[in-house]
Amino acid sequence: MREFEKMLKGEIYDANYDKEILKLRLKAKDICFEYNNTMPSDEKKKLEIIDKLQIKHGKNIEIVSPFYCDYGFNIEVGENFYANHKLIILDGAKVKIGKNVFIAPNVTISTAGHPIDYKRRNEGLEYAKSVEIGDNVWIGAGVIINPGVKIGDNTVIGSGSVVTKDIGDNTVAFGNPCREIRKISEDNRK
């Protein structure tokens, strides 16, 4: 089985020495470079570059430069998506983001992890676990979202949080590690 196939299946794979994997990542980095050096006002060209990365997306999306990803084709964002400066998505596995999601500056979403055993890690091995972010989510500045995490609908993740486990729907969550602080209620509309 090819290393690329192992990656897509969520199995441990060679992320650092496999030529096919390296070629795919280098291609995405070149495309990200093109995106990051496009005039911010040239929205048509920016969307064409997003399509070149094979990012699946709904209508009305904006990703403010700089933006970085490993592959692009494993990313899906819904309509009315906004990401501020310096969004990093390490997408060895699927990253699915719902509609009406707002991401503040300096956010990292990582599906990638490495073996704890240094011998296996030194062999260039990696694994990837999908990340899912629901609809109507606001992610604050400087948040890190770790592999395998699911964030529910209508949730707010506070700035500087490190999300290491699932966060439910209708929740305000923050901290390191990020934890649910309280539920969002009708009182918040007032």
Amino acid at 57: H
Q: Count CB neighbours of 111 within 10 A.
A: 27
Q: What is the DSSP code (8-state) at residue 141?
A: T
- What distance in Å separates the CA atoms of residue 167 and residue 51, rounded to the nearest whole number? 30
Task: Give the pair of three-digit tokens for residue 87.
Answer: 């969004």
Cβ–Cβ under 8 Å, residues 149 and 131: yes
- What distance in Å separates the CA atoms of residue 152 and residue 11, rounded to the nearest whole number? 25
CA separation, residue 109 to residues 73, 83, 84, 93 (Å): 15, 12, 14, 11
Where residue 160 falls (left for φ over 0; alpha for ψ -120 to 50; beta otherwise) is left
Note the maximum CA span of the chain. Answer: 56
* Residue 114: active-site member: yes
Which residues, in sequence order, are CB contacts of 27 under 8 Å at separation 6+?
A: none
Catalytic residue, chosen from 94, 114, 129, 179, is: 114
Catalytic positions are: 114
